[in-house]
Structure 1
Amino acid sequence: MTRTRRLAAALAIVAAVALAGSGCTVIPVTGPLTVQETGSGDPLSKPFQRMIAIPPRPTWGPDETIRGLQAAMAAYADDPSILAKYLTPEARAAWNPSGPVAVIEDEYEIVPSTPRDDAAQAQTFTLKGRWVAKIEEDDSYTPTAGVSPRTFQLVKAEGGGYRVSGLEDGLLLTNADVTRAYRATNLYYLTGKTQDRLVVDRVRLRLKPTQTYAQTILERLLKSPSHALKGAVTTSFPPGTKIESIRSDERVVINLSGPLSLSAEDTLSAQIRYSLNKNEIAKGRVIEIQVDGEPYTVDRPSADDHWLDDTSDTAYYVSKGAVHYMGQDGPAGAVPGAAGEQRTGYSGFAVSRDGALIAARTSTGISVAGLTQEGRWQEVIQGTRLTPPTWHRDGSLWTYDSQNGVLLRYDPITGRGPDRVAAPKLSGLDVTKLRIARDGVRVAVMTGENTVHIGALTGGSAGTMLGAFQVLTTTEVGNKITSVAWEDDEHVLVLAEGKAGQTLNEINVGDGEVVGVPLKDPLESVTALGGRVLAEAMTDQGAKIEELDQDRQTWTVKIESDAGSPLFPLG
């Protein structure tokens, strides 16, 4: 059946339902009426269901009217005319749909804000639902909690039924509305200074019946990143770039227009490739990019894949104060130099991107050693209340001095530092952990024992600054977070414990999506890279190193005894 015939059939069903009985029947308890929309057969699109909103009926009471209005909000982006029919002329002139989209749970209730009076001309009602999230105007998705009450003023309409004479600005959608019409989408931008790596920006994009998902993705990619990465990343697309057309057969052909530079071929094609392929669009096919119909560059599936995972994947662990290599199936020997010698007083180990340097915290500061036979520990940052060290992909070493409330950076190559880095949002907070992501942009910051924030390193004319903070997760009072580690550029692993036991959650830093990881034994710490997750487990036989299996459900012991603090480079 074609799209036009499906739509006509659905409208016929709506009309038939409306004529069949009372107003309550046109809003089924299973949810608003939908119709399968375009995209199901297009390799550059995704199938989705489009809401068909229904105008208010003379037989409807306040409850049905408000529910019908909410359904019209879900359909507003495709057809704004239906929502207008629910409003009085004054309300239409005053209401503004812009601003964050409030997302609530599917089940909600509508209660009178004042005692019900059927004789009254104007009445106020409150829609009460559990708040799920908000979708900002930059398409970022932020989980929220609590009750999100919305008030509606209703007046009786001529000929029966009600109209809304007053409502708050912005759209109110249910979680089902968002699941149906939006898609979690990864966009890829470039690191701000070096532009040698891609940084993922996760947003929620609304699918459109008039264009493919591929076009929706690329048109959003031409815009600025979300506020979480503002000032921290750049793009290869200059202002004025437009998507003229996208077509697909054996290859995907994208025709652009605008002042595109020939020197941006590699970075531009990388942004397009990852933004399409990571969202399961055009995967495995050649992508041909044109400018004004003329060949610009061709991106092949076998193209160099250095844009994301370019860090050493060697795993390490600590035994009796000595750092050891770890193979796929167990111990592989101590590292060379002083770091491989047994000693006490060193903790919070961190390995640089290329595996050439290791850092650790002592009672007097942060020390660094080369992983060579000649490598010796050297204190490079002094302080008695420093967070465990963390490496940046550019080779610099970072820590937070809680005693003086300053973020510090040391450059082992030049021996410069430690220099102070502006981090105004951390002022006055009890910073206990600091972990820079492998993309060199995002930073996980733990404050106290209960809260993990995500920030970003920006590099404007005034120098590097750590900002753009938002809370990623927090625990209840009495519980505490014991370990935080970057799993990849999108996810952080957070280990927490309380009276009910331990939890290990994988949290998407872009939209807060949480996936729990089952545990076998009590864990002390976790680390991850390239799909591998390692943990220090405490068993009856002592500390062991365990690895999470590929099924993400079970753990396998890799080192039986005297092994702890597993770590990978960076993260």
Structure 2
Amino acid sequence: MGADRGGSGVRGRRPVRVMAYASCGALLLAGCASMPDGGDLRQVESTPRQDSQVRVYAIPPRPGASAAEIVQGFLEALTSDDANYETAGKYLTDGARKAWDPYRSTTVLDDAPDPVGLPTDTKDGTRDVQFRLTGGKVARVDERHAYSPEAGSYNGLVRLTKLKNKQWRIDGLPQGVVMGTSDFQRNYVSVNKYYYASNGTSGTGRPPATVADPVYVRAQVDPMTQIVRALLRGPTKWLDPVVTSSFPTGTDLKSADTSLSPDDRNRVTVPLNAEADHVGGTQCGRMAAQLLLTLQNLTPTGVDEVELQKSDGSQLCVQTMNQVEGIASHGTGRHQEGQYFIDRERRLVRLTGGDRDKKPEPVPGALGEGAKKLRAAAVSRDETSAAGVTADGRNLYVGSLVSGGSLGEPVLRSQGATPADRLTTPSWDARGDLWVADRDPKKPRLLLLRKGAGEPIVVQAPSVDGRIEAVRVAADGARIALIVEKNGKSSLQIGRIDRSAGDEPAGAGVVETRSVAPQLEEVTAMSWAGDSRLVVVGSEKGGVQQMRYVQVDGSTPLATTPSALANVKEIAASEDEQLPLVAHSETDGIVRLSSGEQWQKIVQDGMAPVYPG
């Protein structure tokens, strides 16, 4: 429960806010003080998320505070950086403090919760009053730190009682905490934990693929220790069926008061409990790789080395970031610079490097020779093969990217009556299998071709409600992004790839799809743009087309929004976030956006840009 707007608080009155002065040390009224790491204290109405140096300190209730001030002060104390909510607990009775679990969940509202006093019948001598907390729900963060979008109205009841010392205290309240969006953005930071895909790279000869599991932790409350504990506890519920952890069950930090931080060599020492005492060197290396990948974005320079310790303090293993590549396959697993698209002659062409004057060249092989006119293509992640959809959308061909290679017969043919009712752009997964959707209204299907050949396998997707319009498989092979159309509206959905039936592709399925951009009613293009991020083109109800980043959990990352671009038809990004976005605009043709720059025109006549995958 928290407050983040100037007009929040008990209805009809301005909320209590605090001005605190370093010179006198006096704290006036209940609430929070926002304190920069240096300089004077200052009055705060709302702390902007982008000011990373601002710290908010909880203030205990003042003697004689009214019931309304107690409620408001408690809500504001919960948005502070008080590590264990100790000050917030001072607003509660002893019984309420013992029963309340602030870590059970965090409910995010569009604005701060609005406390409304309820009528109280005082004729019977009652010493209790009640306030109802209201607001519009945006999201919820559960006990495993997983974020999920929510909608609808929030209603929470807070009951106060007057103690024998004549002080009001909260005697009943909802479990967890509630706060507005801006306070949530200031208080919490999104961090990727990393686990191993259960079978995402089976048979490829590569190390096991890592899968990003984004969670939210409190940004100013020892986030490194929080995220390591969350990693050791295991993956979030949605991801759990398709990933594994190298840490033995029950592994935790050695003690409850352990606090982790890098030393002056960017080395983090992690003391573990007895559950990890007997792991071997190979397993310990995989454990350390998970930790190193998880900790990379928590410090400005990253973490270079991790030492794992046994419960007696002796060394279990040491691993550096340079060693991770041989243990875990992260992202694409190889350096990629080339971008591909279909040129004016309907050939597959490749643009390499960042030289803006360099011209695209046809790829080697039949797909670059123009024998089959194409409208879309996908390049395998090792860039040795490509799949192309013919200009009418009816046929799918697969060929090698070597000179003189031939296509043969199409590997798939759609019976849809029009190009819009035929094949989507295909996508290659981490195992080298090819995914594509057939939009034939009489027989809509999501299909898988093992190694891009053989009899197409129908992928069961029971949770997909609508027709699949676009398919993109993540580099980890455990997740798939879909654009799904129903009743004239299209949404972006993420599903798990389930191969639980064994190594046979017939066991593949897409399960538990969830919408990750619910505010967009018309999603027209998307692409993976990182381990847990996508770039999306779409529009809200009655709005204009926009381009934005979204997380796979449905949250909006605090990253720069891509520069505006008109009439975008297709978008391509790489899991390597350092590589530029590439788009097809009806106005400007094929364009490219590198970090810190504006869109750069490549060619006027081109379409369907893609990165390998």
Normalising by the smaller structure, the TM-score range is 0.7 to 0.9
Give the aligned CA root-mean-square deviation in angstroms.
3.7
Q: Give the aligned residue type for 1:323.
A: L
Structure-2 residue corresponding to 1:437? 474
Aligned counterpart, 2:68: 63
Structure 2 vs 1, CA of residues 253 and 422 (structure 1 numbering), >3 Å: closer, same or farther? same
Cα shift at 1:51:
4.0
The 1:370/1:293 distance shift into structure 2, 3 A limit, reads same
1:14–1:152 Cα change, 3 Å: farther
**Structure 1 position 63, deviation (Å):** 2.2
SS in 2 for 1:222: helix
Alignment of 1:388-427 (within 5 A): 388-402=425-439, 403-404=442-443, 406-412=445-451, 415-426=453-464
Cα deviation, residue 239, structure 1: 1.7
Measured against aligned partners, the alpha-carbon deviations of 1:18-48 in whole angstroms (never above 9, x if no partner) come to 5xxxxxx333xxxx136789xxxxxxxx988
| Separation in 1, partners of 2:25, 2:297 | 41
**Which residue number corresponds to residue 228 of structure 1?**
238
Q: 1:144 to 1:518 in 2, by over 3 A?
A: farther
Deviation at 1:548, TM superposition (A): 0.7
* 2:247 corresponds to 1:243: no
The correspondence for 1:455, drawn from 470, 495, 500, is 495
Residue identity over aligned pairs, in percent, reads 23
Residue 289 of structure 2 corresponds to: 270
Counterpart in 2 of 1:534? 582
Within a 5 Å distance, the mapping from 1:68-467 to structure 2 comes to: 68-74=73-79, 78-79=83-84, 86-87=91-92, 97=102, 99-104=104-109, 107-114=112-119, 122-145=128-151, 147-160=153-166, 162-175=168-181, 177-179=183-185, 181-193=187-199, 194=201, 196-206=208-218, 212-244=222-254, 248-250=263-265, 252=267, 254-257=269-272, 258=276, 259-280=278-299, 283=302, 285-291=304-310, 292-303=312-323, 305=325, 307-311=330-334, 312-319=336-343, 320-328=345-353, 329=356, 330-342=358-370, 346-362=374-390, 363-372=393-402, 373-383=404-414, 384=416, 385-402=422-439, 403-404=442-443, 406-412=445-451, 415-426=453-464, 428-448=465-485, 449-461=489-501, 463-467=507-511
Rounded to whole Å, the distance in 2 between the matches of 1:484 and 1:389 is 13
The code of the aligned residue for 1:33 comes to A
Residues 495 and 503, structure 1, Cα contact 8 Å, conserved in 2: yes
1:160-199: per-residue Cα shift (whole Å, max 9, x none)? Answer: 4544454333322344654554332221111222452222
How far apart, CA to CA, are the structure 1 residues paired with 2:117 and 2:271?
Answer: 54
| Counterpart-to-counterpart distance in 1, 2:324 and 2:300 | 19
Residues 537, 400 of structure 1: alpha-carbon distance in 2 compared, 3 angstrom cutoff: closer
- Bigger CA drift: 248-257 or 375-384? 248-257
Structure 2 CA distance for partners of 1:251 and 1:54, relative to 1, 3 Å: closer
Q: Which string of whole-angstrom CA distances, capped at 9 and with x for unpartnered residues, describes residues 459-505 of structure 1?
A: 4356443224221114555xx32211112222211112586542111
1:231 and 1:237 mapped to 2: Cα distance?
A: 16
> Partner of 1:549 in structure 2?
594
Using the TM superposition, name which of 332-341 and 386-395 deviates more. 332-341
Q: 1:282 to 1:364 in 2, by over 3 A?
A: closer
Task: Give the letter aligned to residue 470 of structure 2.
Answer: K
Q: CA deviation at 1:316?
A: 1.3
Q: Give TM-score, length-normalised by structure 1.
A: 0.81
8 A contact 2:337–2:352 mirrored in 1? no
Deviates more, 1:191-200 or 1:296-305: 296-305
TM-aligned CA distance change 1:522 to 1:343, over 3 Å: farther
Which segment is superposed worse, 525-534 or 354-363?
354-363
| Structure 1 SS opposite 2:71 | helix
Give the drift of 1:293. Answer: 4.1
Deviates more, 1:89-98 or 1:242-251: 89-98
Counterpart of 1:233, as a letter, is V
Partner of 2:551: 508
CA contact (8 A) 2:113 2:178 kept: no
Q: Whole-Å Cα distance in 2 between the matches of residues 296 and 208 of structure 1?
A: 30
Post-superposition Cα deviations, 1:134-155, rounded to whole Å, max 9, x if no partner, equal 2111101234455433233445
Q: Secondary structure of 2:516's partner?
A: strand
SS in structure 2 of the partner of residue 439 of structure 1:
coil
The one-letter code sitting in structure 1 at the alignment partner of 2:263 is: S
| Cα deviation code 1:307-364 (max 9, x no counterpart) | 3342443211212221112233343321233312336764331111112222233544
SS of 1:425 mapped into structure 2: coil
Equivalent in 472, 476, 484 of residue 516 of structure 2 = 472
More strand by share: 1
| Contact preservation (8 Å) 1:241, 1:256 | no
Of 358-367 and 386-395, the range deviating more from structure 2: 358-367
Partner of 1:536: helix, strand, or coil? strand
Asked if the contact 2:306/2:319 (under 8 Å) is kept, the reply is yes
Number of equivalences: 532
Unpaired runs of 5+ residues, structure 2, are: 1-19, 38-51, 202-206, 417-421
| Cα separation, 2, equivalents of 1:394 and 1:132 | 37
- Cα distance change of structure 1 residues 35 and 458 upon mapping to structure 2, 3 Å threshold: farther
Verify the 8 A CA contact 1:493 1:506 in the aligned structure 2. yes
Q: Secondary structure of the equivalent of 1:424? A: coil
Find the residue that maps to 1:473 and give its secondary structure: coil
Classify 1:412/1:276 alpha carbon distance in 2 versus 1 (closer, same or farther; 3 Å). Answer: closer
In structure 1, distance between residues paired with 2:498 and 2:288: 24
Q: Which amino acid aligns with 2:455?
A: G
**Corresponding residue SS for 1:379:** coil
Report the CA distance shift for 1:73/1:253 in structure 2 as closer, same or farther (over 3 A): closer
Q: For each residue in 1:421-473, what CA deviation from the matched residue of structure 2 results, as whole angstroms up to 9, or x when unmatched?
A: 332211x4222112111222221111114310122223435644322422111
- The question of whether the paired residues in 1 share the 8 Å contact of 2:387 and 2:396 is answered with yes
Change (3 A) 1:483 1:199: same
Whether the aligned pair in 1 keeps the contact of 2:387 and 2:397 (CA below 8 Å) is yes
Q: How much has 1:57 moved relative to structure 2?
A: 4.0
- Unpaired runs of 5+ residues, structure 1, are 1-9, 19-24, 38-45
